[in-house]
Amino acid sequence: MRRLTRAAVRWIGAAAAALAPAPARVPTALGATCIVVAVAVTGGLLLTAPARAAELVGGRVQAQIVRAFDASAAHRRLAVVSVRSSTVAPSWAVVSWVAPEPGSRTSAQSSTISLGASFYHRVGGRELAGRPPAAAQADLKRHFRVAVVYRGSGQETIDYEQQYHSVCAGAGDFTDTEHDTVSPMSWSVRYVVDLDDLLAAVRGAQGATLVPGIAFDGAGSTLSAVEDLTRTVVDVGCNGTPATYTCATTYRLGGSTPLSFLPGLGLEVGIPLIPVTSGSCNADDYALGPSLFAGGATTALVSRLDLLGGALPSDPYAPIAVSWPGGSAAHAEGFVSSPCQGDAPVCSDDLRWRGTVAIVPVG
């Protein structure tokens, strides 16, 4: 799939933000061509079983249902929102879809965006449009939400030492040393995505853009991250005494919601950080810039979880491993800004983290 330009991403994000209600949070980045597919497949006709929430469908089954949906001329210009399967009658499925508004409409939505539903029945390996039995239909029409859970841990160590000639005639140099550690560094963050509540559905030159409702679950999230920074400068040639600056930063959960869906590229999820500092924390007192952790290097990009706008794995709920550097969105997109940038001969930055990203059912 063709990768979007940064200008296109900014345009789509602006259009989506204009359409979203004021109190709603809009994902930080959106891709184009958002033909998001929602299909529900139901297991054997256990019609006496109690209704349960449907499940996302991925892999070959999802692809077959999407092809059946796209084959209908009546579905042109529609955008698929999710593909789900019933837990009551697995041979039935539902495609949840929306008709996006023209991209020229930039005023706030005056009414709720309506979603449509198309049902499919698997018969002899084929997906046929039809009307499911009452129990299966109730299961497939149940309001559908999922959680995105990102867990991980690691540490970061930065060491810097630079020597200059002293301005004095005495023996010895001017020495500047800085040491920075982020440890502990562990997190488990949970976002609830409402796939039946779209805040925006816009069609422009780049395709369709869908913005789902997203809520950060603070009660279901944890973060343990402390950054300790020390800088010492001394001019030995001037018989100077060392001057030391120390700053401690404890990171709390809060702020913006770093969860984005980039159709064709995957899911991008980060940690909402609020720094709480103590000590001498004036940036002018330190030689280096922010740590990679503080700069968002733990934001993960998971190409296989194309929740809005693409295919899902055969098991959509299986956790997917991510780690530095390959799993970092900032690294993949070329936006890594190391505190050692420009000072590589005298500075080292050792960042290590690994974790998992998973879609989790919400009852």
At 33 the pLDDT is 36
Which percentage of the chain shows pLDDT scores above 70? 82
Amino acid at the residue 269: V
C-alpha distances (whole Å) from 263 to each of 104, 218, 223, 320 are: 21, 26, 29, 18
pLDDT digits (tens, 9 = 90+) for 163-185: 999 989 888 899 999 999 999 99
Q: Is the pLDDT of residue 24 over 90?
A: no
What is the pTM (predicted TM-score) of this model? 0.82
Query: What pLDDT, on a 0 to 100 scale, did the predictor assign at position 111?
Result: 63
Q: What is 207-233 written as a DSSP string? A: EEEEEEEEEE-STT-EEEEEEEEEEEE
Q: Is 182 exposed, middle or buried (0-12, 13-18, 19+ CB in 10 A)?
A: buried
Tell me how far CA of residue 211 lies from CA of 19, 31, 158, 198, 357, in angstroms.
9, 11, 38, 6, 20
H or E segment at 19?
helix 6-19
Residue 118: CB atoms within 10 Å: 21
Quick one: which of 116, 145, 142 has its CA closest to 50?
A: 142
Q: Which pLDDT band, with edges at 50, 70 and 90, does 85 fall under?
A: very high
Dihedral (Cα; 330, 334, 338, 340), 10-degree rounding: 170
pLDDT on residue 4? 38
Predicted confidence (pLDDT) per residue in 204-261, tens digit: 776 677 889 999 999 999 999 999 999 999 999 998 899 999 999 999 999 988 998 8
The edge-to-edge listing of strands for the beta sheet with 300-302 is 259-262, 266-269, 300-302
**DSSP letter string, 308-334:** TTS---SSTTS-EEEETTTTBHHHHTT
Which of residues 229 and 104 earns the better pLDDT score?
A: 229
List Cα–Cα distances, 117 to 71, 79, 188, 192, 333, in angstroms. Answer: 15, 11, 34, 22, 36
Size of the chain in residues: 363
**C-alpha–C-alpha distance, residues 200 and 28, integer Å:** 14
